[in-house]
Amino acid sequence: MRRDEIPTPALLLDLDRFERNLARMAAHVRAAGKALRPHAKTHRCPEIARRQVAAGALGVACAKLGEAEVMAGAGVRGLLVTTEVVAPGAIARLVRLAGEAPDTMVVVDHPDNVRALGAAAAGAGVTLNALVDVHVGARRTGVEPGEPALALGRLVAGQRGLRLRGLQGYAGHCAHVTGWDARRQASRAAMAPLMETRAAFEKAGLPVEIVAGGSTGTFDIDVELDGLTELQSGSYCVMDLEYQRIGGRGGEALTDFEMALTVVATVVSTPGPDRAMVDAGLKAFSTDRPFPPEPVERPGITYGFAGDEHGRLAITDPSRAPRLGERIEFFPPHCDPTINLYDRIHVVRGDRVEAIWEIAARGRSD
């Protein structure tokens, strides 16, 4: 199939750019003496996970158990489930998963959950690897750093069915701070309590062999932390407008990684001089960011959402008015939830479709 034969709207991955992104991150963590367990919530695609592992990653982080089940089923190992697994049915599934993929890890932030996981694992005769999830300011999950984290760590260490491996601290509120210096300052401040907790664990004789954190926004910031052992950055492999715009060490755009992900749409209506309509609306791009998709190397138009299946192109240069049937590619504002709208990704090199990869864990937020 040629690139211009793909039915639209469709998700495209530029293979050259993607491969360079993987190679750059691999070189970066190697040089920094850190490990990488990239977040598969970004792509939910086993083939991408396999390529990340082939490039040196320890495995992948998964936001949810459902994702981890798909990754394990596809042969990916070194899984870390980064959200607490609480419901009784989910705990049973996690224990089953740990039976099949024994190096799987899960995070914990509550004593009741620690006891429930410990009992389920011991009952099934498996050992479940656990990290204490430490709150570092994102106001999501995580036990408070310091004494509360230490108490929870001791509880984990005392469970026969659990094996404490260390800590996780995800400073999601720092990932998109604009400007590298400001972001560095924010992340250093957020991660300091995690590092102090790490020291307290060490002093108490609790394991800290794994201390995980970091985002694509802080990939070259969090590696400065001595105690951090591995990065969880996810978006770097495909990138999106939001991460591009936070700025990098070098300037106003984050250019360390390349924009490898696009959505291709077709102009299906040219009703007047003010607008043209494409067949990609809010079922083709996620709408969680305050800015719209951006046309790729296609001046003269701007994109606006116009319903489930419609995007409205405002024609800013009448000499470049879109023609009926024209194909236009767009960079998505936010990669993770946009990829989650598609069942597959068309992998292109130039004008050729080299492969179609299943986004096998799409929709697996359970």
Q: How far is the CB of 268 from a second copy (least distance, A)?
A: 5
Which of 28, 312 has the CB closer to a second copy? Answer: 312
Which of 255, 269 has the CB closer to a second copy? Answer: 269
Judged by CB under 8 A, how many residues of this single chain contact a second copy? 68
Per the rule left: phi > 0, alpha: psi between -120 and 50, beta: everything else, 363 is left
Which of 32, 305 has the CB closer to a second copy? Answer: 305
Which of 28, 137 has the CB closer to a second copy? Answer: 137
Q: Which of 53, 60, 280, 348 binds a second copy (CB under 8 A)?
A: 280
Is residue 20 involved in binding a second copy (CB under 8 A)? no
Which of 137, 161 has the CB closer to a second copy? Answer: 137
Residues 107-136 touching a second copy, rule: CB under 8 A, are: 109-110, 112-113, 135
Residues 311-350 touching a second copy, rule: CB under 8 A, are: 312, 324-325, 327, 336-337, 340-343
Is residue 8 involved in binding a second copy (CB under 8 A)? yes
Which of 28, 64 has the CB closer to a second copy? Answer: 64
Helix (H), strand (E), coil (C) string for the chain: CEHHHCCCCEEEEEHHHHHHHHHHHHHHHHHHCCEECCECCCCCCHHHHHHHHHCCCCCEEECCHHHHHHHHHCCCCCEEECCCCCCHHHHHHHHHHHHHCCCCEEEECCHHHHHHHHHHHHHHCCCEEEEEEECCCCCCCCECCCHHHHHHHHHHHCCCCEEEEEEEECCCCCCCCCCHHHHHHHHHHHHHHHHHHHHHHHHCCCCCCEEEECCCCCCCCHHHCCCCCEECCCHHHCCCHHHHHCCECCECCCCCCCCCEEEEEEEEEEEECCEEEECCCCCCCCCCCCCCCEECCCCCEEEEECCCCCEEEEECCHHHCCCCCCEEEEECCCHHHHHCCCCEEEEEECCEEEEEEECCCCCCCC
Q: Which of 23, 27, 54, 87 binds a second copy (CB under 8 A)?
A: 87
Q: How far is the CB of 4 from a second copy (least distance, A)?
A: 9
Which of 223, 360 has the CB closer to a second copy? Answer: 360
Is residue 287 involved in binding a second copy (CB under 8 A)? yes
Is residue 360 involved in binding a second copy (CB under 8 A)? no
Is residue 232 involved in binding a second copy (CB under 8 A)? no
User: Is 227:236 a contact under the CB 8 Å cutoff?
Assistant: no
Which of 66, 229 has the CB closer to a second copy? Answer: 66
Provide the Cα torsion 237, 54, 37, 45; round to 10°. Answer: 60
Which of 23, 324 has the CB closer to a second copy? Answer: 324
Q: How far is the CB of 138 from a second copy (least distance, A)?
A: 8
What number of CA atoms fall less than 13 Å from residue 102's CA on the CB side? 6
In whole angstroms, what is the distance from residue 336 CA to residue 93 CA?
24
Q: How far is the CB of 270 from a second copy (least distance, A)?
A: 7
Q: How far is the CB of 27 from a second copy (least distance, A)?
A: 28
Q: Which of 25, 57, 143, 360 binds a second copy (CB under 8 A)?
A: 143
**Candidate ranges 14-22, 141-149, 205-213, 214-222; the one touching a second copy (CB under 8 A):** 141-149
CA dihedral for 69, 106, 226, 218, sign (positive or negative): positive
Residues 178-217 touching a second copy, rule: CB under 8 A, are: none
Interaction site with a second copy (CB under 8 A): 5, 7-10, 41, 63-64, 66, 83-90, 93, 109-110, 112-113, 135, 139-144, 172, 266-272, 275, 277, 279-284, 286-288, 305-310, 312, 324-325, 327, 336-337, 340-343, 362-363, 365-366
